[in-house]
Amino acid sequence: MTEKKQGPASIRNKASSILKKAAGAFGKARAELSVIKPRTFLVLAIAGIINAFGVTMFLFPVKLYDSGISGLSMLLDQVTPPQLTLSLFLVLLNIPIFIFGMKKQGLPFTVCSVFTVSVYSAMSYLIMNVLPIDVDLVSPLAGSDLLLCAIFGGVISGFGSGLTIRFGGAIDGMDVISVIFAPKIGISLGSFVMVFNTLLYIVCGIVIHSWILPLYSIVTYFVGSKTVDFVVEGFDRSKCAMIVTTEADRISDALAESFRSSGTIVSATGGYSKQSKQILYFIINRFQINKLREIVRGIDPNAFISLQDVSDIIRKRDE
């Protein structure tokens, strides 16, 4: 049998169909990326520079290890030929992971992450290979003091990582891997990252025949993770007050007058008494807790007050 040749019209139709699909995909990608503001890239560039500064000026010179893919890249830099550098491994390991997770995380997240990692890698190469800064033996700022290097390296790199997360990206591919695989094996994201880092530090100790540096690296990981939490969630978290009362209207008016903000009232029923009650949802800061307690107790001594941390508040403001 001979294959039936396609005519010019059929070829043109297929080409037109391909072009339409490409144009549609381009339009969709453009619409998705339109949510990324120019200032976001500026902040992400600063975050990449900060992260590179913390790693190359404090951790790398004394052979302490960062967490996640960044820490793995530092280990590979030490055990591979000189041509394979930290900055190269940061790109080779992180970017494929971000692209792999694009379907789950979305195009804007992937673009922001790849951009930040590229800046992180480029700045690391600049500090270690171009600028007249000696980062081969000791930290230029903390010398050979491992504790200082662990703490300040963790704080600075954690600040860069937190800034990246706050503005819609990630600076380490381990965040994406944990999102994809942690639910499949039934553990939390934090536990997944902790297990990876534990295994990483064990391997580091075996490779370098010493446990001192991996143990100090755990300090870096702890300090860095806490710094990320502070940057992402804020140093001064707000408090959510849930007030169960029968005087919600009076309490709401008193709180609004005192704090110049309003709350939300929800109808409820007592689980034991079956009496009709109301729940007042009100946001305050930690300095206002005592005053809120005094106002509520002054109106309804039997009110039940529950306080919880609020990491972020998103509201629509009148223009």
For 170, phi and psi rounded to 5 degrees? -150, 145
Q: Give me 29's structure tokens.
A: 């990608």
Choice among 13-22, 160-169, 296-305 with the minimum mean pLDDT: 13-22
Q: What is the pLDDT of residue 22?
A: 61
d(CA 319, CA 316): 9
- pLDDT at residue 162 greater than cutoff 60: yes
Integer Rg of the chain from CA:
27
The reported pLDDT for the residue numbered 181 is: 84
Report the pLDDT value the prediction gives residue 290, as an integer from 0 to 100. 85
Q: Give the mean pLDDT of 70-89.
A: 92
What is the full DSSP assignment across 172-185? -THHHHHHHHHHHH
What integer pLDDT is reported at residue 103 of this predicted model? 79
**Burial 40-77, CB ≥16 within 10 A → b, else e:** bbebbbbbbbbbbbbbbbbbbbbbbbbbbbbbbbbbbb
Average pLDDT, the chain: 85
Rounded CA gap, 303 and 300, in Å?
Answer: 5
| Amino acid at position 237, single letter | R
307 near 240, Cβ under 8 Å? yes
Q: Pull the structure tokens for residue 177.
A: 């891997």
Quote the pLDDT of residue 126: 94
- Given a cut of 90, whether residue 237 has pLDDT beyond it is no
Confidence (pLDDT) at 42: 95
Reported confidence tier of residue 36, pLDDT bands at 50, 70, 90: confident
Asked whether the predicted pLDDT for residue 29 surpasses 90, the reply is no
User: Could you say which DSSP state residue 84 is in?
Assistant: S
The whole-angstrom separation of Cα 311 and Cα 318 is 23
What residue type is 296 in one-letter code? V
Q: What average pLDDT does this structure show over 75-100?
A: 91
What the chain holds in terms of domains, given with CATH numbers, is: 29-233 (no CATH), 238-310 (3.30.70.120)
> Contact, 58 vs 220, CB < 8 A?
no
pTM summary value: 0.76
* Cα–Cα distance for residue pair 159/164, rounded to 1 Å: 9
- Average pLDDT (72-98) is 92
Q: Which of 26-35, 48-57, 63-72, 238-247 has the lowest mean pLDDT?
A: 26-35
Buried (b) or exposed (e) across 259-291, using 16+ Cβ within 10 A? beeebebeeeeeeeeeeebbbbebbbeeebeee
**Angle 295-298-303 (CA atoms, 0-180°, nearest 5)?**
85
In single-letter form, the type of residue at position 81 comes to P
End-to-end CA distance of the chain: 72
Dihedral of alpha carbons 281, 286, 287, 291, sign: positive
- Secondary structure of 14-45 in the HEC alphabet? HHHHHHHHHHHHHHHHHHHHCCCCHHHHHHHH
Which of residues 46 and 30 earns the better pLDDT score? 46
Which tokens hold the place of 41? 């890239």
Question: For 249-265, how does the pLDDT look when each residue is reduced to its tens digit (9 = 90+)?
Answer: 999 999 988 888 888 89
Sheet holding 238-245, edge to edge: 264-269, 276-284, 238-245, 304-310
What's the confidence (pLDDT) of residue 150? 95
The percent of residues above 70 in pLDDT, for the chain, comes to 87
Confidence of residue 311 (pLDDT cuts 50, 70, 90): low
57-73 mean pLDDT: 92
pLDDT of 4 higher than 60: no
Q: What is the pLDDT of residue 142?
A: 86
Q: What is the pLDDT of residues 200-212, one digit of tens each?
A: 999 999 998 889 9
Q: Please write the tens of the pLDDT for every residue from 112-142.
A: 999 999 999 999 999 998 888 888 778 888 8
